[in-house]
Each structure stands twice: as C-alpha cells, then as structure tokens.
Amino acid sequence: MATSAPAVTDAVIVGAGPVGIYQAFQLGLLELGCHIVDALPHPGGQCVELYGDKPIYDIPGLPVCTGQQLVDGLLQQVRPFAPPMHLGQLVSTLERQDDGTFLLSTTAGIRLKTKVVFIAAGVGAFLPRCPSVDGLRALASTQLHFSLDALQARGNAEHVLIIGDNEDALQAALQLAQTPEQPGRAKPVVTLIHRRDAFTAEPATQRAFRDAVASGALRFLSAQLTAVDVKTDAQQGVQKGVLQSVSVADTQGAVHTLAVDQILVLQGLSPQLGPVSGWGLAMQRKMLQADPATMATSAAGIYAVGDIAHYPGKKRLIACGFHEAILAAFAAAHHIDPQRRELLQYTSSSAHLQALLGVENTAGS
C-alpha cells in the first residue's frame, strides 16, 4: 500500500503546553505556519495535569489564574492562526532530508515535512503509568486502556479489571458498576485492585466506592497484578493477543486468578523524555542544551524552549519559557530565510499584525 504524502509546514512544535502554544502564536505573528504534536489527548501539558485547578500567581499581568485558565487563554490567543494539533501521540521518528528539511512521523501514523522543529516538551511527554508485567503492553488499544472513554468505545466488556487508587479509578469503577443491563448484553463484572486498602480519591468518592463494594455492585482486592494469561495457538505457538485472565497477588502473598477481558489502568501520568533522547541532540541532565540568544540546539533547525531547554542561568518558569519562544521564533524565521529582514512590530500599533489577529487597527485612536 502506497504511503500518503506528508503534510508540509513551516514548523512542528513538539509539546502542547503553555510554552508550545505560545510558540505557535509567535510563529503566527511572523506568518509561519505550524503543527503541534503532544502525547496527551488534550492541550495544556503539565500545566493542566499538575495545576489544572490550582492557582498560579507569577504569570505577568495575571495576579492569579489556574493552570486550565492559563491554557484556555493561550488557546484563545492562538486561535487566529489555527495550528493543527495532533494529540494523544508521540513524534516517533525525526529524519533530516537532503534539502535540509525534516520528516517527522508520529505513533498515530501522521507524517509531517517541516523546515524547523521546536521541542517544547517540558519535563518530557506525559505517558500513562502502567504495571511492568510481561505481555501487558502488547494488549494496548485492544484490551488494555488508559481512559474510561477508550474502554467504553470497545463495548461488550464482561469482566473489567481496574488498576488504581485515585479519583479517576474509583469514579470509573462506580460508573461501570452502574451500567444498566441491556438485552443480549451482560452487565460487566467490575474488579478494582490496588496494592493497599487506602485511596487518594475524594472522601465522598471513597465512601460511595466502599458502599458499592459492600453491596456487591463491584469488587475490591488489595493486590497487585503479577501476570496476564493471553490465549495462544497451541499448534502453531503463535500468540493471538486475546486476554483470558490475570493473576494478582494479595498482601498476604496469595495468588488469585481472575477472569478478565478488559483492563483499565488509571495510575496517573509519568513524564518521560521518550524518543527525543534518541535524536542525537546535545543534552545535560536530561535537558537539551540551547543557545540562550536563539534557543537553537546542537542541530541546525531544531530549537528547545521551556523546561526542556538548558543554558547558563536557566530558570524553569513559564514566564521564562514565553521569552524563549519569542527568541526561537525570530531565530527560526532567519534560519528559514536568511535574507528575511527582521522587523520588530508591536501588536498595539501594527495594522499588519492586527489584521493577522483579526482585530481592528486602533493605532490612530
């Protein structure tokens, strides 16, 4: 089957956190198009994951805002430039082409050809935590899921195992346990396991969960997953990838076998540098070395901004990341077109920039 041609763009931004989104805005002001790729299924990065509903007090001009409010404002700001976002996927390969451009591929099969790359991956891609059990990850997207929506999209689950102790895990267990019976479709048997009989969910959620366990609506085991039993072709010895059951060890060391056809892991997210570490870029303490004047990395055409960038005097603050995005945007524009005249314009007075942003020129008022 022929491979489709990659989408062509001026820039690709790896990371859809605040700095990555602001990077797209600055590129838009320079009339450079871009695509954004992020491992999370939604924009916001660690700002939303860690500070979504917590107050932030050091953003210029905003005495206080939550992480989600900051991201919402940045998304509104970049809206005139409408950068395509490829969410829930990683950049898996990055290859320099003979003409100096880059060809990127994502884990979802998206291919992008770009003139420059900005790495705004913060402390790394936020990926779901998953038990280290042989054969488990091979079930991803078929019988292993990291969100309730993904599990429900599969349909017809008979025996669901949930792993986790947080609000999302307990709420998912309660919701699945309340699934109404349908003609020809059995109500799923729901089991939640956690290594100890203590949870990090809200107190009201914990009470509702324990009430459901006491009533028999769902089952809880203080245990850890130790093995998955996957159906194999006994004659050919070929693994079919069909989950039959799992083994769990309780706090006393006893092993239990549970019939399971779907697993939902909700153990939070963990930042991982991922494929970036294999791109041959100069690094220091898991950060990319960057020129503080241009944010250029050791590879021409690749820039690092935000928490992943390192240079003397670096401060890992969102406000500093915004400054780095401005420097990187102008440096990238010069890299793309060395003959381009660097003209610093102001959105408060430039009719051209205001036209790009879709606002009226107020320079004469």
Domains of the chain, by residue range, sit at 7-126+270-357, 130-267
Residue 339 CA to residue 241 CA, distance in Å, equals: 56
130-267: CATH topology is FAD/NAD(P)-binding domain (3.50.50)
Residues of the chain with pLDDT below 50 are: 1, 235-239, 364-365
Residue 323 CA to residue 250 CA, distance in Å, equals: 51
Residue 91, beta-bridge partner list: 106
CATH topology of 7-126+270-357 equal to that of 130-267? Answer: yes
Diameter of the chain measured on Cα atoms = 82
Strand (E) or helix (H) holding 111: strand 111-119
Residue 184: per-residue pLDDT: 62
Residue 293: per-residue pLDDT: 97
CA-only gyration radius of the chain, Å? 24
Closest CA to 359 of 58, 26, 76, 75: 76
Phi, psi at 271, each rounded to 5°: -75, 130
Task: Sort residue 275 into left (φ over 0), alpha (ψ -120 to 50) or beta.
Answer: alpha
Q: What tokens does 185 get?
A: 């479709």
Residue 235: per-residue pLDDT: 44
Residue 231: per-residue pLDDT: 75
Q: Give the SS3 label for residue 115.
A: strand
Residue 126: per-residue pLDDT: 64
Residue 236: per-residue pLDDT: 46
Displacement of CA 288 from its chain's centroid (Å): 19
28-51: burial string, b at 16+ Cβ within 10 Å, e else: bbbebbbbbbbbbeebbbbbbbeb
Q: What tokens does 162 get?
A: 């949930």
Are the CB atoms for 290 and 28 separated by under 8 Å? no
Q: What tokens does 295 get?
A: 């944010």
Residue 239: per-residue pLDDT: 46
Residue 365: per-residue pLDDT: 42
Q: N- to C-terminal Cα distance for the chain?
A: 60
Residue 238: per-residue pLDDT: 42
- 7-126+270-357: CATH, from 3.30.365.10, 3.30.565.10, 3.50.50.60, 3.30.70.270: 3.50.50.60
Q: What is the pTM of this model?
A: 0.72
Closest CA to 223 of 258, 173, 190, 189: 258
User: Pairing between strand 255-259 and 287-289?
Assistant: unpaired
Instruction: Burial-class residue 350 by CB neighbours within 10 Å (0-12, 13-18, 19+).
Output: middle
DSSP 78-103: HGGG---EEES--EEEEEE-TTS-EE
Q: Give the SS3 label for residue 222.
A: strand
Residue 1: per-residue pLDDT: 46
Residue 271: per-residue pLDDT: 65
Question: In this structure, which amino acid lies at residue 61?
Answer: G
